[in-house]
Amino acid sequence: MSDFIARPEHGIVWISGASSGIGRALALKLAGEGYKVAVTARSHEKLVELQAEASGLSGNIIVLDGDVTDAEDMEHVLASIEYEHGTLAMAILNAGIYLPVHAEDLNRADFENSFAVNLSGVVNCLLPAIRHMKAKGQGQIAIVSSVTAYGGLPTGAAYGATKAALINMAESLKFDLDKMGIRIQLISPGFVDTPTVAKSAFPMPTALVSSEEAARQIAAGLKSQAFEIAFPRRFTTMLKLARLLPYGAYFPLMNYLTRWRQRPPLDGHHPVMPHPAE
């Protein structure tokens, strides 16, 4: 039996972290395909602007404010979807932050905030989503990780750790969710052109893709039977293969490939690496 693939007639698509970047572009893409999309973020104004932009599309966007770090908030969002707007058919857990970590200036808050949003924030959404889907015997969940989770990279000690945990979480849950009729997928974007990246003083890699292209590839992947949706393919494959190298080769290679990110910028600020969910 094929895995469940959510269609517009099945119910609501819920996207967390939808105020900008991939989340915003994906909400517009799916609304354009006729889906009814519930969007969540802390920025009410940006969500209202997104809703207005989607007004002429075949689907529509529902604004449901909430902070993924607040478990009670996410319970309320799911209750609103189920009891006011329709059945939850798909959850795309996308909210995330990137806080660069430098060993010479470690900050506990960078780790705590990263874990709260990127890891606990996903759990806060995942629990009520699975509970509602379990009651119906079907559903689709997509968790946004990152190619930075494939192996350690400079400044990624907090961000990469959370995204690596999400990969393990999705893989581990798949065994049980398959039996429950709930399909789970992993989204592993490469470097995506987001508002955070635009402020960086550094040149971007040739593999950089737009938020719109990322949304297109994710939307296509959600309709496929693939467990992982990773893009751009050549870049993500290269990083996966690099992780198979012995450490004696891996660290020199990553130092070489990321050397431009490690140079201090002229304005004195730390460089910002691309983040898929900004």
Q: Which positions are catalytic?
A: 159
211-222 and 21-32 are packed helices; what angle lies between their axes, rounded to 10 degrees? 60
Question: Going by DSSP bridges, is the β-strand pair 209-210/192-193 parallel, antiparallel, or unpaired?
Answer: parallel
- Smallest CA-to-CA distance from 43 within 74, 70, 20 is with 20
71-80 and 121-136 are packed helices; what angle lies between their axes, rounded to 10 degrees? 30
Q: What is the C-alpha separation between 269 and 147, in angstroms, rounded?
A: 24
Q: What is the C-alpha separation between 113 and 270, in angstroms, rounded?
A: 18
Residue 28 and residue 34 in contact, taking contact as beta carbons nearer than 8 Å: no
Q: State CA 192 to chain mean position distance.
A: 11
- Smallest CA-to-CA distance from 142 within 150, 133, 151, 152 is with 133
What's the sign of the alpha-carbon dihedral 35, 40, 41, 44?
Answer: positive
Q: What is the C-alpha separation between 188 and 227, in angstroms, rounded?
A: 11
Q: What is the C-alpha separation between 225 and 155, in angstroms, rounded?
A: 34
